Structure 1
Amino acid sequence: MGDDPVGDVAEPDAGGEEAERPEARLERAVRAAEQALIEFEIAVETFRVEVENFSRLHHQKLGPMYSRLDELDAQIAEARAASTGDPEDVRKAQEARARVMPMPGIEELFHDWLDSDGLSPEASAMLTEQPVRPPQRVRPSDEARKLYRELVRKAHPDLAQDDTERARRDEFISRVNAAYGRGDEPLLRELSEEWAAGPVAEEWRPSRSEELYARLEWLAQRKELLALVARDLEESAIGAMLKMAPDDPDRLLEEIAEQLLAQVSEREAELAGLLGSGA
């Protein structure tokens, strides 16, 4: 199953050819561990961006439906409490009302909605009950993913030979991550050209076994930390939802929206029944 990055070392033959340096196997193990860690970081960062984008779309598209359900639950509980007068029903009504997000003040409501010409298009649409512009889809294209992977493999800070080179790579990779998070394919192309034109650091080749063992230990610790990040992402509510439909998250949002609309209809019918019976 693939070539062993360490197992292909030639042993000295009976003719007495010079044996490979003792550190050579260890150096190859470090190289393999470095590349494995970079690939793992790419996978974790890619999933993080997907979770972040899905979370934003989930909030923008479904947030109002959740708010409507909370409001209906509060009204239903209040109508039931008014009808029965039972202290327990009153308590439940108070708890349900407390769960409803309070109405924001006018300044908060229109924060970032005012521009030099007055209200933004989104604010005007809401006030005139016109359809609000749908949230912008932010998901890196296949080409953006390819460019991102190539850049991280080439410019990863862990491949630096000294502190100066690491600082340069850290700054560059931060710009790469920002561009990838926005799905900015043109900027990723520019960054790829910038890296190709920049200085090429010499390959790091530690000469002492102690340094190599320390390097392997650091790489192992780094992978453990990334594994914790990956686990937290996968076990989060949004991460778990995204894993249900990794190839078509938009369809998953539509299905959830349909379910929420059905719940809204049920709550409205229940509220109408309570109000009607109390009339």
Structure 2
Amino acid sequence: MSYAGQVTTPEAEQAQDETPEQAPQDGGARPEERLEKAVRAAEQALIEYEIAVETFRVEVENFSRLHHQKLGPMYARLDELDALIAEAVAARSGDPEDRRKAAEARARVLPMPGVDELFHGWMDGDGLLPEAAAMLTDQSVRPPQRVRPSDEARKLYRELVRKAHPDLAQDEQERERRDAFIARVNAAYGRGDEALLRELHEEWDAGPVPDERRPTPSEELYARLEWLAQRKELLSVVARELEESAIGAMLKLAPDDPDRLLDEIAEQLLAQVAEREAELEQLRGRVT
């Protein structure tokens, strides 16, 4: 089984390498005890890998949002300039092929947003949002809240998932309780809500203590190992899709400082915009 390097952690890498055959052996232990050790090792490997995949998914999602907010207008401006340049070339040459290229370039330009889209993020059912009101009254606009989880939030998230992961449940009722709790943990982590993660940490610690693992038949343990392996394969597919996506590939270029990467891309786009504007001005000068 192969795993993408971007979404691993030291704990996950160690756990991934510990297969049932490599799990600690105890010559005097009964077969079921050795199987139980293998199951526990596989469970921990899956949990660590799932934490790594979810952490990277949140990073990709947040970077995608920031990328769209910061660079979206620049990409739109470049598309508009490309269309204007193609139209100027077609007007100058009169060539049918140039007209076709101009029509294609214009088709790539995003249409003007509707009224609802224009007001999205500025107005809700109660009227103008604080950021919109501040801008209209020439007051300082509060910068958008960072959505990238802090290091402390990441630490809390990892600890919570290790403690409350549904795969550690001993029965269906306990699994449902853990599923509901982890959903709240994931939502808090996705928003980077460090305070709420601390509250969830305290809530779990104060909750019921899971029963000790009870001995299980060998057939059930083997089935458990097979399910864990299948689950890990599915996560590997998700990890590969994240890493091979355009945003995932960009994020891998600067995983420790994605804001710097956005600034660098913005500078490159601004330079391209300036080049296109100069080219358009030159073409319009020739036409006139």
* Alignment TM-score, normalising by the size of structure 2: 0.88
Alignment of 1:117-136 (within 5 A): 118-123=127-132, 134-136=143-145
Cα deviation, 1:199-246, whole Å, max 9, x if unaligned, reads 111133342110000000000000000000000000000000000000
Larger Rg: 1
Say yes or no: does 1:95 pair with 2:112.
Answer: no
**1:131 Cα deviation from its structure 2 partner:** 8.6
Match of 2:247 in 1: 238
CA distance, structure 2, for counterparts of residue 6 and residue 53 of structure 1: 37
**1:111 Cα deviation from its structure 2 partner:** 3.2
Same amino acid, percent of matched pairs? 79
Say yes or no: does 1:30 pair with 2:47.
Answer: no
Contact 1:27–1:205 under 8 Å retained in 2: no
Say yes or no: does 1:83 pair with 2:100.
Answer: no
| 136-145 or 30-39: bigger deviation | 136-145
Say yes or no: does 1:161 pair with 2:178.
Answer: no
Match of 2:123 in 1: 114
Contact 1:206–1:212 under 8 Å retained in 2: no
2:179 is matched by which residue type in structure 1?
D
| 154-163 or 122-131: bigger deviation | 122-131
Question: Is the partner of 2:252 in helix, strand or coil?
Answer: helix
Contact 1:155–1:169 under 8 Å retained in 2: yes
Contact 1:242–1:249 under 8 Å retained in 2: yes
Match of 1:6 among 23, 26, 40: 23
Say yes or no: does 1:262 pair with 2:278.
Answer: no
Match of 1:49 among 52, 55, 58: 58
CA distance, structure 2, for counterparts of residue 125 and residue 257 of structure 1: 26
Question: Is the partner of 1:199 in helix, strand or coil?
Answer: coil
1:104 is matched by which residue type in structure 2?
P
2:237 is matched by which residue type in structure 1?
L
Task: Label 1:54 to 1:121 Cα distance change in 2 as closer, same or farther (>3 A).
Answer: same
Match of 1:16 in 2: none
Question: Is the partner of 2:144 in helix, strand or coil?
Answer: coil
Cα deviation, 1:58-80, whole Å, max 9, x if unaligned, reads 00000000000000000000111
Match of 1:272 in 2: 281
Cα deviation, 1:179-206, whole Å, max 9, x if unaligned, reads 0111111100100100011111113334
* Alignment TM-score, normalising by the size of structure 1: 0.90
1:154 is matched by which residue type in structure 2?
K
Match of 2:228 in 1: 219
**1:23 Cα deviation from its structure 2 partner:** 0.7
2:197 is matched by which residue type in structure 1?
L
CA distance, structure 1, for counterparts of residue 140 and residue 264 of structure 2: 21
Aligned pairs, number: 270
CA distance, structure 1, for counterparts of residue 110 and residue 138 of structure 2: 21
- Structure 1 ranges of 4+ moved more than 4 A: 2-5, 115-118, 121-134
User: 5+ unaligned residues in a row in structure 1: which ranges?
Assistant: 12-18
Contact 1:159–1:204 under 8 Å retained in 2: no
Cα deviation, 1:99-121, whole Å, max 9, x if unaligned, reads 10100122331134224774435
RMSD: 2.2
CA distance, structure 2, for counterparts of residue 26 and residue 177 of structure 1: 31
CA distance, structure 1, for counterparts of residue 192 and residue 135 of structure 2: 28
Say yes or no: does 1:61 pair with 2:78.
Answer: no
CA distance, structure 2, for counterparts of residue 6 and residue 124 of structure 1: 62
Contact 2:25–2:34 under 8 Å retained in 1: no
Cα deviation, 1:84-137, whole Å, max 9, x if unaligned, reads 111011011111111101001223311342247744355467779999754332
Contact 2:170–2:211 under 8 Å retained in 1: yes
